[in-house]
Amino acid sequence: MKKIIIYGIVFLASVNLALAQNPTEIPLDQAWKDKITELAPKKANFPFKKKKKILVFSLHTGFWHWVNPHTQAMIEILAEKSGAFDVTTSTDIAMMEKDKLKEFDAVVFNNTNSKPQYRNLFVDKISENTSLDSATVWAEADKLENNIIEYVKKGGGILLVHGGDTMFNNSMKFSKLTGGSFDYHTKQQAFQVRIEDPTHPLTKSLPADGYNHVDEPYFYKNAYDELDFHPLTYFNNAEIEGQKEGQEKTSGKTYVSWIRKDGKGRAMYISTSHNAQSFENSAILAYFLDALQYVAGDVKVDETPIGN
């Protein structure tokens, strides 16, 4: 009997661990929104003179993340409760025209995943117009991509969330702007997110010793190897299971979030957002609010690239 009980306990523990490492989809209902509203900061950490305008852009042509609407709702809640932002949401690529972009202080690219074939979100979307030839499609896509790059150089801010770094995954110019491109991710698992510098203004909302998190650990390529960004959080490579065969990293660190100055503007990337459960944490919500204030230009911080 004792053996049966012990085996039962071990079985239940293993089931709970499996569930914890593969969070189930949860509905975006009022109860969840109320929970996030309760956990969200009562006010912004950094002073601001006026509300900034944020565009949350959630177009995807590739992999659909069920967390997309939750991420959008989370940002809307942070904006309303803090009073720091007015939020516009869209999936229309016309918002990437110059005259539209200039209406906003910052743009959030919310899991803007592209299809694997070209890894170009705008090519995917523009190609839906079958009357256009390939040259026209690529020229229009390149124009819109350049609009984003120019928008940042002139003073705008962009925040890429999780799969947002796949939108132009084969574009080195976009990779340089954002600090890196998506390479691959492992299976979902619990891992320790560590803080690069607990004294940095953008990480003070997080526990100084980091936090345990369930997500897909992301690895990067292209401009990432130049480390032309200022890192904020990371994981130890040796702690990550299921790395791609032949590319295993058994030492060093891979960054989870970072910031980058480009011209007069700012770019920030946060990878840990595959599940809506991630947002059920007051420290994470505060971190996202700080991130929004940073890309919107409300706070000046150390942006020195680690590669220098």
Taking all residues of the chain, what is their mean pLDDT, rounded to a whole number?
91
pLDDT in tens, 278-297: 999 999 999 999 999 999 99
Contact 164, 110 (CB under 8 A): yes
Please report which confidence band the pLDDT of residue 1 belongs to, taking 50, 70 and 90 as the band edges.
very low
In angstroms, rounded to a whole number, what is the distance separating the alpha carbons of residues 129 and 153? 31
- Can you give the C-alpha Rg of the chain in angstroms? 20
pLDDT surpassing 60 at residue 72 = yes
Please report which confidence band the pLDDT of residue 15 belongs to, taking 50, 70 and 90 as the band edges.
very low
In angstroms, rounded to a whole number, what is the distance separating the alpha carbons of residues 112 and 258? 18
Residue 231's Cβ-count burial label (10 Å; 0-12, 13-18, 19+) is buried
Contact 307, 227 (CB under 8 A): yes
The pairing of strands 253-262 and 230-236 is: antiparallel
pLDDT surpassing 80 at residue 5 = no
Query: In the structure encoding, which two tokens stand for residue 126, read together?
Result: 């523009």
Average pLDDT over residues 113-123: 95
Average pLDDT over residues 74-83: 97
In angstroms, rounded to a whole number, what is the distance separating the alpha carbons of residues 52 and 221? 32
Q: What is the pLDDT of residue 20?
A: 52
Mean pLDDT check: name the lowest of 5-9, 105-109, 171-175, 249-253.
Answer: 5-9
In angstroms, rounded to a whole number, what is the distance separating the alpha carbons of residues 215 and 65? 12
Which of these, 294, 303, 295, 304, lies nearest to 45 by C-alpha position? Answer: 294
In angstroms, rounded to a whole number, what is the distance separating the alpha carbons of residues 149 and 297? 17
